[in-house]
Structure formats: structure tokens, C-alpha cells
Structure 1
Amino acid sequence: MTNDHYFDELIIAFPSLKSEILKEDTEMIHWRMEIFADYTKEQIKRDNKIELTKCFNFQESKIDLMTSDLLNALTVSYCESILLGGCGDRMKDLIYLMPPKLKFIYIDYEKSYNELANKSSQ
């Protein structure tokens, strides 16, 4: 799956993000993924589990098809944004909504981040 194809499908699944996604340069994969992360965080903050599950399921359905650049953006711009963007504490109660592949990526990122944070505080 090309990066453009991923974002085309994202816009179809989440049409409210279309104008914001299309404003960004197509090469700015991380910025575009951050838009989806912001949308996901909004669902967490609203406790909208139906839409949140839709966000997670969308990501899950694309993981095996993603380019390495998209996988990196999923980890760095999506998972990191959820963890560090004011929703990390809520994720402990919502992680069960994540399908297995996305959950693995999120937990792996969280673990790596915590290890780095612990090393820097020593």
C-alpha cells in the first residue's frame, strides 16, 4: 500500500478529516498521521468507544500493508501522540479496545519510551 493510498482510505473512512489531511503536503506523512492521532485522542477524551474502536480497527486493518515510512509514522506520530498527548493514563483502561497488532506496537512503544525516560532520570 502506498502512503497516498493509506491516506485516501483514511479520508474515506473518516471524511471529517479530509480537508485537514489534504492541506498537508503528501510527503509529510508524520504530520498527516498526527491529524489522525489528534482525532483518536478526541475520541478518548469524549469517551466515544465506538468511534475509538473504529480508529483502532482502521489502523489494525492497514498494518500489514503499510510501507516502512507509514509504520514509523504509526509508531512515532500515532502511538506516541496517544501516549504523551494527554491520553496515556486513560489508555490503561482502553487498551483492551486495541486489536492485537496495534496493541503490540503501542505497548512496545510505551515500554521503549518508559525505558528511555528512566535512563534519562538516573
Structure 2
Amino acid sequence: MSDEDFFEDLIKSFPTLKTDIEEEDRYLVHMRMEVFAGYTNKLIEENNIPEITKCFDFLESRIDLMNDTLKNALNVSYCEALLLGKNANIMAPIVQIMPTKLSVVYAEYEQYYENILKRHRDSGQ
């Protein structure tokens, strides 16, 4: 799946994101994914479980189709924004509603981040 196809599908599924996504340079995939992460974080703040589930299902249905750039943006922009963003302290129940593939991607990123922190602590810095 190309970056453009992904974001076209995203806009069709979440029309309220159209302007924000189209304002970002089409080649800045990570910034465009960050828009979606911000939207999801807003829904988490509102505890809008049906719409959060819709976001997660959208990603779940496309994970196996993503090119390397999209997969990297999913990790670095989307999962990181959820893991480290303003809702980090309330993510445990949210992670429980993630579908299988997305929850694996999220857990792998979480482990990656924890390993970075551990290496940093172990180095005494």
C-alpha cells in the first residue's frame, strides 16, 4: 500500500482529519501519521471507545499492507504518541481494546522504548 493510498483511505474513514492531513506535506508521512495519533489521543481523553475502536480497526486492517515507510510511521509517530503522550498514564485499558496485530506493534514499540531507557540508565547518564 502506498502512502497516498493509506492517507486517502484515512480521510475517507475519518473525514474530519482531511484538512489537517492535507495541510502536511504529502511526503512527510510521519507528520501525517502524527495527525491521526493526535486525533486518537483526543478520543482517549474523551473516553470515546467506539471511535477509538474505529481508529484501531482502521490500522489493524492495513498493517499487513503497509510499506516500510508507513510501518515506521506507525511505530515512531502513532505508537510513540500513544505510549509517551499526554494519555500515557491511562493507556493500559486502551491497549486492551487494540486488535491483535496493532497490539503486537504497540507492545514491540513499548519494549523497544523500555530497552532504550534501560540502556540509558545502565550507562549512568
In the superposition, the TM-score normalised over structure 2's length comes to: 0.95
**Identity fraction in percent:** 44
- Quote the residue 1:108 is aligned against: 108
Q: Which residue identity is paired with 2:31?
A: W
Q: Which runs of 5+ in 2 are unaligned?
A: none
- Quote the residue 1:2 is aligned against: 2
Q: Which residue identity is paired with 1:111?
A: Q
- Quote the residue 2:44 is aligned against: 44
Residues 52-63 of structure 1 correspond to what in structure 2 (within 5 A)? 52-63=52-63
Residues 26-37 of structure 1 correspond to what in structure 2 (within 5 A)? 26-37=26-37
Residues 16-27 of structure 1 correspond to what in structure 2 (within 5 A)? 16-27=16-27
Moved more, 93-102 or 28-37: 93-102
Partners of 2:17 and 2:95 in 1: CA distance? 24
Partners of 2:88 and 2:112 in 1: CA distance? 14
Deviation at 1:94, TM superposition (A): 1.4
Q: Which runs of 5+ in 1 are unaligned?
A: none
SS in 1 for 2:114: helix
Partners of 1:12 and 1:54 in 2: CA distance? 13
Question: Which stretches of structure 1, 4 residues or longer, exceed 2 Å deviation after superposition?
Answer: none
Q: Which residue identity is paired with 1:103?
A: S
Partners of 1:107 and 1:80 in 2: CA distance? 11
In the superposition, the TM-score normalised over structure 1's length comes to: 0.97
Q: Which residue identity is paired with 2:110?
A: E
- Quote the residue 1:84 is aligned against: 84
RMSD across aligned positions (CA): 0.7
Q: Which residue identity is paired with 1:35?
A: V
Deviation at 1:11, TM superposition (A): 0.2
